Amino acid sequence: MESNKKYWKGLEEYKNTPDFVENNKNEFAEPLPIEDVLNEAGLSTVTPRRDFLKALGFGLGAVTLAACQPTPVHKSIPYLIKPEEVVPGIPNYYVSSFNGQSVLVKTREGRPIKIEPNPNAGEFNCGTDAQAQASVLDLYDVSKLKAPVLKENEKATWAEIDAFVKGELNKVQASGKKIRIVSSSVNSPSTKNVVADFTTAYPNTKHIQYDAVSYTGIIKANENSFGKAVLPKYNFDKADLIVSFGADFLGTWISGEEFTSQYISNRNYKTLAKGKMSRHFQFESGMSLTGTNADTRLPIKLSEQGPALITLYNAITGSALPGGALPNNTSADKAIKLVAKELLMNKGKSLVVCGSNDVSTQILVNAINAAIGSYGTTIDLDNPCKRYSGNDAEFAELINEMNRGEVAAVFFLDSNPAYDATNAKAFTDALNKVGLKVSFSDRKDETSSLCNVIAINHNYLEAWGDANAYEGYYSVVQPTINPVFNSRQAEQSLLVWSNAPVQDYYQYVRNNWEKNILPALGKTWNELLQTGVFAANAKTAGSYSFSQSLAAVAQSIQNNSKALAKDIELQVYESIPMRDGKHANNAFLQELPDPVSKVTWDNYIALAPKFAQTLGFKEFDVVSVKGANGYTIELPVLIQPGQAVGTASIALGYGRSKVGKAGDNVGKNAFPFVTFANGTLQYATTVTLSKTGSTYELAQTQTHYSFEGRNIIREATFKEYVKDPAAGSGNHGAKHKSYDLWDKYEKPGNNWVMAIDLNACTGCGSCIVACNVENNIPVVGRDEVRRRREMHWIRIDRYYSFEEEGKKNVTEEKEIAHMENMDRVSVVHQPMLCQHCDHAPCETVCPVLATVHSSDGLNHMAYNRCVGTRYCANNCPYKVRRFNWFNYWNDSRFDNYLNNEFTQLVLNPDVTTRSRGVMEKCSMCIQRIQAGKLTAKMEKRPLKDGDIKMACQEACSANAIIFGDGNDPESEVSKALRSERTYYVLEELNVQPGVGYMTKIRNTDTVQA
């Protein structure tokens, strides 16, 4: 076709030159210099421009691709099959119990991260103590064993363990030798049943309960006096007059958080508003937390305790028991006579308690309590407390049995006698003679490291179980996380070894409840799992009369007193943070300052200021403490105002050698000072002290002990308060007109404020731990505390003032230095946290606006914006801001807390961790405020008062902290802040703090005397 035109590519094609024809045969018209390039000569030729560009292009592409190597991706695996009840970001709460306290466990995405008191627990909801708050950290303890241990094999399987133990048990059974289960007090009904089942399978078994800190004395005394071998239920709330001889009932004695709640119910702002307040005398040698809260506290020597009780008994009953004289302590003598009068006036409304574990002493206390009609009112023997049921004599006998080679198998459940037995050496020597030694410890501790088998037990957060803290009061323990390591519940191990028909402990507990407990209460298992506790109707507390001769008792007391009255009288006691040392590897507890001495990370020997002077010791001098039994330790001296002259105090629970990274070799072990006499453990003994010449600085969070007469602390006596509720608060007369440089903040919605009742706060410190856990506050360790760098957002300031005859309280350091008699100490505890000032001095000085005010009255801290000039902290009159001096969670020097991925699981995901160089401080638990607002919004309702609770507030047994909306005149906090007692710390600076304090009231004036 004509239309099929042919277009030439060029004249060459048209002309069809020979060259063109030749070249057209090739794919490329021009020859490519491939050969040239590929041979060696080609490589040395000058690269053509195009090749250069090609190479450049290729190179760039290749390098770019190579650079696309992705950075390591941390895959977060979503729930493939989402558990029904887990919603990321929404916490789940489970009821459980810790040491008999009913608690709520908050879990996030399957991780338990916080312990809160169980609001369903009714009268048993008494807040939580520091141990309970800190207990979540124990779950994530890296020092725990990851698998059971059989002899030296740290990776044993349960089958191996079971085969070994069963084999050994059968041999023991055949030989007819004894089997012993050694535990601390067990009140769990299911555990008791398990032990009973085990005993049925191996009839030679005996369950020996012993407590490192024992209450055998009271139990035996009650058996002796009333035929009831029980620890009574004390009702401090029913006592208008409380007299304590060395019982730290607000702290460590039996059940501190519960007694605190009862005690404060007669002393808080609501009761005060009704014109009522209980009265509390404390006679003790060491300054205890309870002593710091007493209206009148008198130091007495340990050897004077018995005579003092005899004096009191004589004064009340008019009898004349011998030995009732305090020749060297006239002020105590005078006070006891006065106390006797008041006790008689308050018959049936008063309570006398004594911290001694001596049977005779407790019998005398029973006699006194019977004389003042306490039984049936303030003391209840019919609904007894089951927290402690240890028997010191049985444990002492165990050592003899082991020594005689009668015991062939021994099991240690929640007990560590190689550390906390008074005669640990005798115990470990005897233990060598036992064939099968099984420990249920979760770590290689002092005892378990001597055992052939460590059948690692669950943490209580992984376990099923139950508790029975009081007669008729039951609570459940349920797991909140799958067992992290290859551990097995101790009870289950015992069931397996006894070849029980039901070996699954969950089923066992459930069966036990459904068979034995729930029918009586008319409840179901599921109801139990929801409420966590069941209390049967309490029996009526009967009144008991005392009708025995006290001659022998008085004689025994006198003998004890004489034995103590030589050298230096030493009291060994449980400290609030460390208690008996079982949780010594808990960094939160190690860094919780002792409420009285403010010492962290160590124990010490406490001496009275004047007494230390006469002995020639200064604070932090290391002294060698030699016990009557020859046991010697070296400890630094702490000058403790209020300590009785002639006495010294050392805390138990320290000096553990095999507990873990945080707790090993912190302080010295004082258990060997405990003596076993008259059938019970005695915590009073005598020591001699000698100088070693070295010094050791204790890490204290507070080093200045007086408030220098400043009106940051405002107090009044109860008598003054009754006359004028505003007494001492400074709320009198017209206020100065104040002028502001700054505009007032509008707070259209909420105005979050707080009220703190200084009369309710006992200073126990559980709020500090609660705050630590809730807000991911770093633990910094002893050295950093010594450098005064602890990170606590809430602290409790403790101030001493001294009474001088006929003078006002002496509060200034200079005057105190010249005082002759420093025995009459009064103490005030002041929780101090960010005051969320409306005119916050920190806000104006921050160059980058990292700390700003919110429209709901809070002082915010934007960590990401902070550059760390620290001016805000300098300019904070309350000194509550805390600076991250280091990267505490990722620095090998801070290895006792978060420096590993496992422990980091304890972190609250709602609160960011702070990097180094950033300021932080109390945020008023802003994550809780947000969560509360969101819940209200989802439920389409306005926020109610009480919807939002601060972590510190929730933990407080005394309800000393009240948080809420100041814009709501009906909120509890608004009502509390309207109290005449309310004042603001440093209000004269016009920083307009958002936290109000209520005056401290002391019921010191005798009503009629």
**In the complex, which residues of this chain contact other proteins (CB under 8 A)?**
702-704, 706-710, 712, 784, 787-790, 795, 797-799, 830, 832, 841, 844-849, 865-871, 873-875, 877-879, 881-887, 915-919, 985-986, 989, 991
| CA separation for the pair 113, 467 (Å, rounded) | 22
**Closest CB 758 distance from other proteins, rounded Å:** 14
Question: Closer to other proteins at the Cβ: 769 or 918?
Answer: 918
Residue type, 174: A
Question: Closer to other proteins at the Cβ: 119 or 877?
Answer: 877
**Closest CB 795 distance from other proteins, rounded Å:** 7
Closest CA to 888 of 876, 877, 903, 873: 903
Distances (CA, A) of 74 to 71, 185, 864, 887, 912: 9, 46, 23, 22, 19
Q: What angle do CA 518, 521, 523 make, to 5 degrees?
A: 60
Q: What angle do CA 132, 135, 136 make, to 5 degrees?
A: 125
DSSP 732: -
- The dihedrals phi and psi of 513, each to the nearest 5 degrees, come to -65, -45
Residue type, 863: Y
Question: Closer to other proteins at the Cβ: 395 or 799?
Answer: 799
**Closest CB 582 distance from other proteins, rounded Å:** 30
Does residue 551 contact residue 367 with C-beta atoms inside 8 Å? no
3-state secondary structure of 308: helix
Question: Closer to other proteins at the Cβ: 403 or 809?
Answer: 809
Question: Closer to other proteins at the Cβ: 564 or 919?
Answer: 919
Closest CA to 430 of 408, 453, 415, 455: 408
**Closest CB 788 distance from other proteins, rounded Å:** 4
| CA separation for the pair 91, 115 (Å, rounded) | 12
Does residue 993 contact residue 986 with C-beta atoms inside 8 Å? yes
**Closest CB 858 distance from other proteins, rounded Å:** 18
Question: Closer to other proteins at the Cβ: 279 or 795?
Answer: 795
Question: Closer to other proteins at the Cβ: 108 or 882?
Answer: 882
| CA separation for the pair 216, 230 (Å, rounded) | 9
β-strands 699-700, 605-607 pairing: unpaired
**Closest CB 810 distance from other proteins, rounded Å:** 14
Q: Cβ contacts of residue 354 below 8 Å, gap of 6+? A: 244, 245, 246, 247, 305, 309, 361, 362, 365
Question: Closer to other proteins at the Cβ: 759 or 851?
Answer: 851
- The dihedrals phi and psi of 684, each to the nearest 5 degrees, come to -115, 135
**Closest CB 816 distance from other proteins, rounded Å:** 12
Largest CA distance in the chain: 149
DSSP 909: T
**Closest CB 586 distance from other proteins, rounded Å:** 23
Q: If you search the block for the tokens 């008259």, which residue do you land on? A: 678
Q: Cβ contacts of residue 32 below 8 Å, gap of 6+? A: none
DSSP 26: S
Closest CA to 325 of 301, 349, 308, 305: 308
Question: Closer to other proteins at the Cβ: 36 or 812?
Answer: 812
Question: Closer to other proteins at the Cβ: 475 or 597?
Answer: 597
| CA separation for the pair 56, 681 (Å, rounded) | 88
**Closest CB 953 distance from other proteins, rounded Å:** 21
| CA separation for the pair 781, 787 (Å, rounded) | 10
Question: Closer to other proteins at the Cβ: 315 or 827?
Answer: 827
Does residue 387 contact residue 230 with C-beta atoms inside 8 Å? no
Q: What angle do CA 366, 371, 377 make, to 5 degrees?
A: 75
| CA separation for the pair 898, 889 (Å, rounded) | 5
Question: Closer to other proteins at the Cβ: 335 or 712?
Answer: 712
Q: Cβ contacts of residue 452 below 8 Å, gap of 6+? A: 150, 151, 164, 436, 437, 438
Question: Closer to other proteins at the Cβ: 555 or 890?
Answer: 890
> Per the structure block, which two tokens stand in for 172?
């023991």
Question: Closer to other proteins at the Cβ: 319 or 869?
Answer: 869
